[in-house]
Amino acid sequence: MPAVRLMPTEESADLIELTRDIVDKELRPRVDKAERAHEFPREVFRTLGRAGLLSLPYPEEYGGGGQPYEVYLQVLEEIATAWAAVGVGTSVHALSCFGLFYRGTEEQKRRWLPDMLGGEQLGAYCLSESHAGSDPAAMRTRAVRDGGDYVITGAKAWTTHGGAADFYKVMARTSDDGGRGISCFLVPADSPGLSADVPEDKMGLMSSVTATMLFDQVRVPAERRLGEEGQGLPIALAGLDSGRLGIAAVATGVAQGALDVAVRYAKERESFGKPIIDHQGLAFVLADMAAGVESARATYLYAARLRDAGRPFSRQASIAKMTATDNAMKVTTDAVQVLGGAGYTKDFPVERYMRESKVMQIFEGTNQIQRLVISRDLARSDRS
């Protein structure tokens, strides 16, 4: 039961059909095995890259797809209906390229961005630290200037693709001036002294490797600093607004996937002589699930259209992330309830969708942080 989409162009409608074809042929047949085996699907990302789906929101002149965020996010959602870990990974890759595109010089962009967007490379994003949580200004990982290089020492927690990525966008402290003392670096995965700790043993997203990245005097040429010293935190926060929209789209895809399974099951399963979808009590649960999914989709699309129009969208990105992820948690929980005992088994994917939804409320800023962003914006805004 694919989502009904109103795409802005014929090209973007074709892109959705291409994505659905890849999802049905390449993702759905593999997801259960990979999730149970905790197997990172590197080849799936190469398939998406060769199809141009890893680089959609970046300009064609640098090797991107030249698509507006409105289109890119709907592609993410389609991927996540089948495989949330791949949807999250696609969003993280786009975020890991953002710093170079946003603050890199023209020379830096032309030198590195085409390879990063070409489909064969996969990126990761290093901001969080175990002690800092939602306060990135408290980070301790340090980059010390040494001639023409910086030497980075420290650890970055909760790194999606940690140990599997080809490059890392890294925030590190270059001075003790609080949030104004952080700089941004583009670090190759094969840099001496860079290693991944043992991957986290997570509740969900089993096929997505998450690890702490260890920086033991990692030497990075100064030409790989993005922007000026001290601009790292603004680069990170600017990218997070876009990243939050990515997670909102992924969460909506997970909710759509759970709704699809629940509706199919409710049409096939009978009780008291008729399909359970014909019982009003359960039908109303499904109706609420559908309303939640479509409301979440509308919310992230509104924020994306603001972004595409070059208008401020930070508050709307936080609203979309909070709304879509809270909705995904509710919809997937309801999907398990619709399936009853069967929903609690691994014979159906709804238990996986439920586990995957929980982390959506946590990463890219917890939903409590989203409420803080929204309320602060309301306090300083002239209009609500």
Residues taking part in catalysis: 364
Residue 143: burial class (beta carbons within 10 Å; 0-12, 13-18, 19+): buried
State the Cα–Cα distance between residues 105 and 229, nearest whole angstrom: 14
How many degrees, rounded to 5, is the angle at CA 85 between CA 84 and CA 89?
115
Q: Is 163 left (phi over 0), alpha (psi -120 to 50) or beta?
A: left
State the Cα–Cα distance between residues 292 and 77, nearest whole angstrom: 15
- Bridge-based pairing of strands 225-226 and 270-271 is unpaired
Hey, what amino acid is at 327? Answer: N
Local structure of residue 3 (DSSP, 8 states): P
State the Cα–Cα distance between residues 243 and 127, nearest whole angstrom: 13
- Cα 9 to Cα 3, 16, 19, 75, 133, distances in angstroms: 17, 11, 16, 14, 41
Hey, what amino acid is at 181? Answer: G
